[in-house]
Every structure is written in structure tokens, then in C-alpha cells.
Amino acid sequence: MKLLANSTTPQIGENIGRHTLFWLLITNIAVLSPLFDKTTPWTLGICAICLLWRIGIYVGKVAKPPRFLVTSLAIGAATTLALVSKQIGLLNALVNLLLLGYALKYIEMRNQRDVRVVVLAGYFIIALTFIDHQSLLSTMHLLVVTLINTCVLVTLYQDKHSFKHTAWLGGKFLLQSVPLALLLFLVLPRFAPLWLVPNMKEAQTGLSDNLAIGDIGKLTRSTELAFRAGFSNATPTNAELYWRALVMENYDGVTWRQDAEIKKLQKEALQFPPSRPSPALMINNPTLISSKPQNAAQDNSHSIRYQVIAEPSHQPWLFGLDVAYSQDDNVANLPDYRLLALRNVDQRMSYQVESWPKAKMDLMLSAQQRQINLELPSNSNPRTWALAAQFKMQHPEPKPRLSAMMRHFNSEPFFYTLTPPPLGPQQVDDFLFENKAGFCVHYAAAFIFMARASGLPARMVTGYQGGEFNPQAGYYSVYQYMAHAWTEVWLEGEGWVRFDPTAMVAPERIEQGFDAQFDPEQSYLQASPFSSLRFKSMPWLNELRQRFASIDYYWSVWVLGFNQDKQKQVLSGILGKVTNTKIALFMGLCIGLIVLYIAYSAGLLHVNTQGDPISNRYQLVCNRLARHGIKRNDSDGPNQFSQQIIEQYQHSAPTLCALVQTMTQSYVALKYQALPAEDYQRHLSEFKMAVKQLNRYLFNAKVRAKLNLA
């Protein structure tokens, strides 16, 4: 209940109060700050000019800008954005246009109607920001921004109150909106977006569908989170975590690329989602199950079930362990055993996956596929051709030949490094016979070249290998620096089989993870001085880091991952059998309770309509004193009644006298004086504290007995 004197309640007028102007200065910075990375220098400059001009208006140094100046800035800014929209992307151009409109409207405000327009635009910008910033930390930041924006509205109606009171009242309004937000979150249907988000045209961190020798080496300098995965029935070891993302089959001697047919399927996936049979169909057919040994958990369950939460990459490819299959509506299962999002992953995306490690891939290989995966650039790497011919002559059978090729990397003095020496035009020859130093792409490319040269179809697979296990929540975090490349060779009767020559040179990299092979300070931490991954070497800080990461993970699982299936489960637990009638009644009941609570908080349902809250509290204290024998006559004013108590009890009860005097002084000031906002709040706090202490004082039986009170 708010204790507000009618005389101090400001009326709504056309002028903008200084309290409102002060909150607007804070709001302007708060609303724009989450989108600074999306703004162009021109937009940022205009926003800064508008803010500085408003500060000048607030301190009384400059006047409001003329309308022609604001109009000129708007036309110039819009023209500039139109010229650069192709470079920055349509969505970024629209975001910049909205920010410019917000800033220019902010500087030309002249009355309270303009303030309301700015506040509504601020809410729209906050909602737009949430599309691209959905982590728990970002959400908490946006809640603070929403609170600040709400406080501007509060000041339009409560202009004479202190900064603290305005913030408290704004927070109260936000808390009152939480039940309705939760209700809508729970019962509204989960539909796919009705529109496509335009291309952001921003820098992308992650794998690309074109792979040159140095590309993955660049990713090893990145601490960005790629995705997280939580397993429900079996947790693989680090050596089993080969996260498939892309398959490269075309090679021109320098760059690996996806096959044109696969790229066409990806492009048309939204209109014509590609599909392939679930690996579960292979389990009942012994001829379709590989003989590779698996751990006991996998042998018993045949499949591994897990949930992946992918970070925004602005690319469509997703991640899964072999052989992955997803039944999510927004995920396509490609013929090359990859997972593909039907839309680019422009915000966090959660999807369910089931993998069958024992299932075989493509037992039959078409003539076209065989040709694609045997092609090599002509007149390239002659020494590698000769080495492949030697392997074929010594080992006519494919499996012994491939084993010999793998042992070659172990028997020769090859070195695994993230900073290999440069290669010449004959890249594979230079690597195999001269440098003998490189990382995963070097070894995978050399192995594929030898396999193809010896007559075995082979291709490159890129993705991530390993993961950082979080024991607090039981999931793996996979970072960009864990990017990896390996090979697949097609064998008769077995289909595509994985071979990773990196494991022959640096087994620690595969079995124990990236940190077991490389110094973080010389790799992914080198360009990230403020990364939280630096805490990994400090046990207690690392545990704290993982606890915070666990909270964010649960937020992603239960809030961002609240799909239609989870919605049905929750509603079934509340309503039993879910029907439209039950949902309508449930919504009606909840909305009715919310409306009643808001009406009560606003004073619309207050039973006692006589007097104001301050007078009511004062009268309650007087009634309590009367019950204890200290009666106030109807003709006595507050000061006279206080003086009577002081004269009677100043020696026997000085505490009682001090509390009554403080309460009376504050009461008189609140009721009969026109106080500034700060003085009003000070007297209000003193009044409430005195009333509280006085009630506690009179409740003490020993005190009453000592003073001979009834």
C-alpha cells in the first residue's frame, strides 16, 4: 500500500518534468547499449550528438533543436543507410534506422506525449534486442533496461518522488506483469515464425562450407561457444565425441568444397526438406550394423539420445554424432548423414538428436558418388601419387592398405602444431615429404589424397572433436577452438568408415582433449585476455564458472527449449487431459486473479474509502494508545496530543515520548506542508518507522506493566 498525500501527487500536463528528463538520459544509454555492435559509425555518431544535446538541455546550456535540423539529420541518415544496406545487410540496416528514429525523436521531445512515444519505441527496441540476445545474462540485462524504461513512465505520474521510490515503483509494475507473462508463455501455442529474418551480413565465427588448409587453424584462436549437448541415456568419452557438421568432397588442390548436389539440397531445404531413413530401421538388420566395438552402454541401448543447444552461427548446419537423426520439425536429415537447420541459426536453437554409433552409412555407392570421391586435380603432388601406388602394391586389400597409411604418420617424424610452415603449390607433397608439420586439416587432406590415389573413395568431414564436461549439470560445452577435420573412406560391405590420422600423431588431442596437446595461452586464449576460460587452471574459480554456465544451460533447456512437446507435458500435469475448454477456463481464472490483484494494488478494491493511508495509520496508533489508557480528545490536534503524552511520560517513558514526537512531526509535515520530493520521502520513511517501533513498544507486556498501562 502506498502512503501518498493528495497534495503532493503531480498532475499530468504538457511540460516534461526534470525528474522525467533525468530518467530519460539514463534510458537512452540503457536502451541503445545492447545494440552498439549493430550500429554503423554514422548511426553511433548521431546517437551521441542527440545524447549530448539532451544533456545540454537538461543542464540549461542549450535550447531544443529546430525541427528543420532534426529533419535534415533524419534524411541524411536514411540516405546513408540506403547506400550501405548491401554491405551491412538488410536487418542491420533496419536496426540502424530504428535506432536513429529513436535518437532523433528523443532529441525533439517537447511534451509528455512525445515521452510516451519514446518509451514505446524503447520497448520495441528491447524486444528486437531479445531476438539476438537470449542468454540468461543478456536476458537479465534486458530486464534491467526494461525497468529503466518503465521508470520514465512512472515519472510522468509521480514526478515529485525520489530516484529510489521511482525505481521501486517501476520494479513493482514489472513484478505485477510477471504472472501474466508466465501464463502466456505457458498456454500460447508454439508456431514456427511467420517471416524470415533478413541476412545480418555480420562477421561469422565457425565452420565454413569452403575449407582451405589454414581455416581451422584460425578457429583454434577463438573462445566462442559453438554448442552444448546434454545426454540422457549414455555419456560418451572424449575420444568418441566426433561432432559431424560438414562433408567436403570436391578438391581443387587448394580448397575443399561441398558437392554441388548437396548444396542444392541445402538451398531448397525450406521448401523441400530432404530426408533419409532413420538409422533405427537398420538395427533389426544385422547386415546393416557395423562391427566396430562400442562401450557397454551403447551396446545395450543401441542409440544415444541427447539435446543440443546451438549458439548463433548465422549458418544452417547443425551438429550430431554418427549416425545422427533428428525428428524435430525445424531440422532436416541430409543424405550425407548431416543435420541441417531449415533456417539459419540466428539465435540459440535447441533440438533433440538420437545417434546410432553401430549403424552403417551408404552400403551402396552410386557411380556418380564414387567418381566424385575419387577425383584429384591433375598434375598435382606427384610424390604423393608415387607413395600411394607403393602402398597399393604392398597392400592390395583396402583395409591393410589404410592401416599402413595410418601407421605412416606414426612411424615418420610428423609433428602436430597449430603454426606449421607455409606450403607451396604442391601442398600435399610439401607436407608429407618436406615440412611434416601441421594440424588436423593437413593430415586429413594428405590421407584422403593417398586413399583416392590408391583407388579408394574418400572424403573430408569437418566439425568438432571433444568437449568440456560440466559436472554440475552433466553436459558438454564445445567451443570453436575444438574445430576438427577427419576423413571417411568407403569400404565394400561397411560403407563410410571414419579414419582420423591426427590420432596417430597426437593421440592426446583425441583422447583427452585440445588442452592436453596445446597450451591455451598459445592458442585460444592468446587473443582473448578476458575470457572466462582462463579460470580453468584455478579450481575454485573454474567451479564457479561452471556453476554460472550450468544456470545458463538450464535457462536454455527449460525456457528457450520450451517447445510444443514440453508445453503439452506441463499442461497435462496441471489440467489432466488437455482440451480447448480447459485451457480457456484456466486462462480465464488466472487472468481474473491477476486483474483482481492489480485492482487491489491500485486501491480500487480498498474497503476503507474514508481518509488517506497516512491518516488511517495515525488513527490506528491513536486507537491503540486509547486501549492502553492514553486517550485523545476529539478537540486535540496532533501536536497538542503529543505534548500531553510528553508531559505525562517524559520521566517514566522517554522512549515512548520520543517515538510519539517523531511520528507527530512527520505526520504534520506530510499532511499540512508542501514538501519537495526528497523531504516528502524522508518524512514518509520516518513516519512509517516511528509507527512500526511504537506498535512494537506498546506490544511489550513488561513496558505496559512498568507504565501502568491497561
Spot the catalytic one: 209, 259, 346, 500: 500
Spot the catalytic one: 19, 165, 442, 484: 484
d(CA 275, CA 269): 10
> How deeply is 127 buried, as exposed, middle or buried, from its count of CB atoms within 10 A (0-12, 13-18, 19+)?
exposed
- In the residue annotation, 395 being an active-site residue is answered as no
The grid coordinates listed for 678 are 526528497
The grid coordinates listed for 73 are 539529420
- In the residue annotation, 484 being an active-site residue is answered as yes
Scored b (16 or more CB within 10 A) or e, 23-35 reads: bbeebbebbbebb
The grid coordinates listed for 1 are 500500500
Closest CA to 559 of 154, 665, 98, 551: 551
The grid coordinates listed for 419 are 603454426
The grid coordinates listed for 619 are 488513527
Which residue do the cell numbers 520494479 mark? 171
H-only helix segments in 374-414: 382-394, 398-411
H-only helix segments in 412-531: 427-429, 440-453, 502-505, 507-511
d(CA 204, CA 312): 9
d(CA 238, CA 2): 59
Closest CA to 123 of 167, 86, 174: 174
Phi, psi of 229 (to 5 degrees): -140, 130
The grid coordinates listed for 455 are 583407388
The grid coordinates listed for 580 are 480447448
d(CA 252, CA 372): 12
Sheet (strand 468-470) strand order: 324-325, 349-355, 304-310, 225-231, 475-479, 468-470
Spot the catalytic one: 47, 151, 440, 657: 440
Q: What is the CA radius of gyration of the chain?
A: 35
d(CA 123, CA 354): 40
- In the residue annotation, 19 being an active-site residue is answered as no
Give CA torsion, residues 627, 629, 630, 632, to 10 deg.
70
The catalytic residue positions are 440, 484, 500
